[in-house]
């Protein structure tokens, strides 16, 4: 499949009162046309920062280098005016908490119609017709009432469906879903994930799904990238990753997932996530790894293709910088 988005050697630092936080440390991955790519990792590993960097929505204290190629063009080289034509139209984003994404002072209709008019250039009447069609597409059966409602009058699941409808209003090529089910209960989570799958099949867009939930990854993603402390440590097809995890961190993540069919005890990862103000040298996972060598403490492992379509950044599997 053709590549829609390519992130190459992305570094992001944040200048803070306590020092420079080295949040992304050479992140590279790609998303193909029509696929759902999952980015999974612990809280604070850099998943959301990666998503915001694609849309150039980082705060002023961020320093960024590398390449973010969207349809072959580097987004980091575009002007703010050029980016406004891409944000919301070519690339849309759905955040984890729809209550903070929707303005509580305005009715849903005002917010949806403003977005549609801005990107599609439709009249108010045509924009309303389009909004109602989108709300029906995301499974909301009374679009007229919803457009006339304030966000607090609707449930969390309904608000998230509205955010998805708004994100799809301009028929984007890429939908970024940043923890889209975190604030919802389990049954609604399942409905939202099934909705994203159905809409992807209908509208043929790609999805960058950011999550810390391996169950979500297993259920909806075509490929997955595992992230640790600002690094991509492994990329593979979802089935391959679960059946044959290579990186010790990926193995550790999977070992703590309860499996009622297996009677082996859960083995939690030892240690804790390092501070990004003073990250470990070499491989950032080495203080928690059971297979650490001297090379791991001094040389950063590069992401390389260990087997067809399966990439890993670990000195155990060779690659550049390994012994």
Tell me: do 79 and 199 sit in the same domain.
yes
Q: Within a domain: residue 293? A: yes
Q: Within a domain: residue 80? A: yes
Give the chain's mean pLDDT.
91
* Whether pLDDT at 99 is above 80: no
Q: What average pLDDT does range 284-295 have in this prediction?
A: 94
> 3-class DSSP state for residue 8?
strand
Q: Within a domain: residue 109? A: yes
Identify the domain boundary among 128, 146, 169: 169
Tell me: do 67 and 112 sit in the same domain.
no
> What is the reported pLDDT for 298?
95
Query: What is the C-alpha separation between 146 and 210, in angstroms, rounded?
Result: 28
> 3-class DSSP state for residue 241?
helix
**H-helix or E-strand containing 186?**
helix 186-203
Asked if 54 contacts 5 with a C-beta cutoff of 8 angstroms, the reply is yes
* Whether pLDDT at 61 is above 80: yes
Tell me: do 54 and 37 sit in the same domain.
yes
Q: How many domains does the chain have?
A: 2
Helix %, strand %, coil % of the chain (to 5): 35, 25, 40
Tell me: do 223 and 124 sit in the same domain.
no
Q: Within a domain: residue 286? A: yes
Query: What is the C-alpha separation between 188 and 72, in angstroms, rounded?
Result: 37
* Whether pLDDT at 322 is above 60: no
Asked if 35 contacts 206 with a C-beta cutoff of 8 angstroms, the reply is yes
CATH assignment at residue 306:
3.40.50.300
Q: Within a domain: residue 268? A: yes
Q: Where are the alpha helices (DSSP H) in the chain?
A: 47-54, 80-84, 98-101, 108-120, 124-137, 143-147, 156-167, 186-203, 214-220, 238-243, 248-255, 294-298
Hey, which residues does 67 pair with through a beta bridge?
Answer: 8
Tell me: do 188 and 163 sit in the same domain.
no
Tell me: do 299 and 177 sit in the same domain.
yes
Q: Within a domain: residue 95? A: no
Tell me: do 201 and 284 sit in the same domain.
yes
Tell me: do 305 and 252 sit in the same domain.
yes
204-263 confidence digits (pLDDT tens): 999 999 998 888 999 999 999 999 999 999 999 999 999 999 999 999 998 877 666 666
Tell me: do 69 and 111 sit in the same domain.
no
* Whether pLDDT at 101 is above 90: no
Instruction: Select, from the ranges 99-108, 123-132, 254-263, 298-307, the one with the highest average predicted confidence (pLDDT).
Output: 298-307
Tell me: do 163 and 183 sit in the same domain.
no
Query: What is the C-alpha separation between 128 and 116, in angstroms, rounded?
Result: 9
Identify the domain boundary among 169, 185, 216: 169
Query: What is the C-alpha separation between 310 and 254, in angstroms, rounded?
Result: 17
Identify the domain boundary among 169, 187, 202: 169
Hey, which residues does 265 pair with through a beta bridge?
Answer: none
pLDDT > 90 fraction of the chain, expressed in percent and rounded? 72
Tell me: do 8 and 77 sit in the same domain.
yes
Q: Within a domain: residue 322? A: no
DSSP E strand stretches across 61-151 = 62-70, 73-74, 91-94
pTM score over 0.85: yes
* Whether pLDDT at 68 is above 90: yes
Q: What's the length of the chain?
A: 323
Token pair belonging to 222: 């075509």
> What is the reported pLDDT for 284?
96
Q: Within a domain: residue 220? A: yes
3-40 confidence digits (pLDDT tens): 999 999 999 999 999 999 999 999 999 999 999 999 99
Asked if 303 contacts 44 with a C-beta cutoff of 8 angstroms, the reply is no
Query: What is the C-alpha separation between 28 and 8, in angstroms, rounded?
Result: 5
Asked if 142 contacts 162 with a C-beta cutoff of 8 angstroms, the reply is no
Tell me: do 182 and 246 sit in the same domain.
yes
Hey, which residues does 174 pair with through a beta bridge?
Answer: 91, 206
Domain that includes residue 14, residue range: 3-90+170-317
């Amino acid at each position: 499949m053709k590549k829609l988005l390519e992130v190459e050697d992305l570094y992001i630092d944040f200048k803070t009162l306590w020092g420079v936080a080295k949040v992304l440390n050479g992140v590279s991955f790609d998303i193909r046309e029509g696929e759902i790519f999952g980015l999974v990792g612990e809280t604070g590993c850099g998943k959301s920062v990666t998503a915001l960097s694609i849309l150039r929505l980082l705060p002023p204290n961020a320093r960024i280098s590398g390449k973010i190629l969207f349809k072959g063009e580097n987004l980091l080289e575009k002007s703010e005016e050029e980016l406004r034509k891409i944000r919301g139209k070519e690339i849309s984003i759905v955040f984890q908490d729809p209550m903070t994404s929707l303005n509580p002072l305005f009715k849903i209709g005002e917010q949806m119609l403003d977005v549609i008019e801005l990107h599609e250039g439709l009249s108010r009447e045509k924009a309303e017709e389009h909004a109602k069609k989108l709300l029906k597409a995301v499974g909301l059966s009374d679009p007229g009432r919803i457009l006339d409602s304030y966000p607090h009058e609707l449930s969390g699941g309904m608000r998230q469906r509205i955010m998805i409808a708004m994100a799809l209003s301009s028929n984007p090529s890429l939908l970024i879903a940043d923890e889209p089910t975190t604030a919802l209960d389990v049954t609604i989570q399942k409905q939202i994930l099934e909705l994203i799958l159905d809409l992807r099949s209908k509208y043929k867009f790609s999805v960058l799904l950011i999550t810390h939930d391996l169950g979500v990854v297993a259920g909806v993603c075509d490929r997955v990238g595992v992230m640790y402390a600002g690094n991509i440590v492994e990329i593979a097809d979802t089935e391959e990753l679960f059946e044959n995890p290579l990186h010790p961190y990926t193995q550790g993540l999977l070992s703590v997932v309860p499996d009622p069919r297996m009677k082996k005890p859960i083995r939690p990862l030892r240690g804790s996530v390092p501070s990004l103000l003073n990250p470990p040298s070499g491989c950032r996972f080495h203080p928690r790894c059971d297979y650490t060598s001297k090379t791991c403490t001094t040389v950063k492992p590069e992401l390389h293709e260990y087997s067809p379509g399966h990439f890993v950044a670990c000195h155990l599997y060779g690659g550049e910088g390994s012994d």
